[in-house]
Structure 1
Amino acid sequence: MGLRGYYNSIIYNIKKHIIMIKLNNQNPPPPHHHRTEATHTHTLSNRFAFT
């Protein structure tokens, strides 16, 4: 596989985990409505920061 492929798979796994965490944060409805707006804007800013 080589060192390069090894690092690429690590980066791929990290990106996959980040996507999973984002999806998990979006799925469960928080108990408070204000909290949803806060987390929504937070994920949006995170999305812009990652791209």
Structure 2
Amino acid sequence: MPTKFFPLGGPVPGEDIVGRDDLLMSLEMRLSEGQSVMLASPRRTGKTSIAH
């Protein structure tokens, strides 16, 4: 029986990211317009997964 149900330590695959559609659309729009963005948030809240 596995001891870890949720893998830790790497980005979450895009299809497993839930509830971030508005954020992803906003980031995509800003980046496509040549704007810089900064992701700032407490630890382990999904910054790497969003950026990946």
TMscore range, shorter length: 0.3 to 0.5
Higher RCO by CA contacts (8 Å cutoff, separation 6 or greater): 2
Q: Of Structure 1 and Structure 2, which has the larger fraction of its residues in helix? A: 1
Larger radius of gyration: 1
TM-score, normalising length: structure 2: 0.33
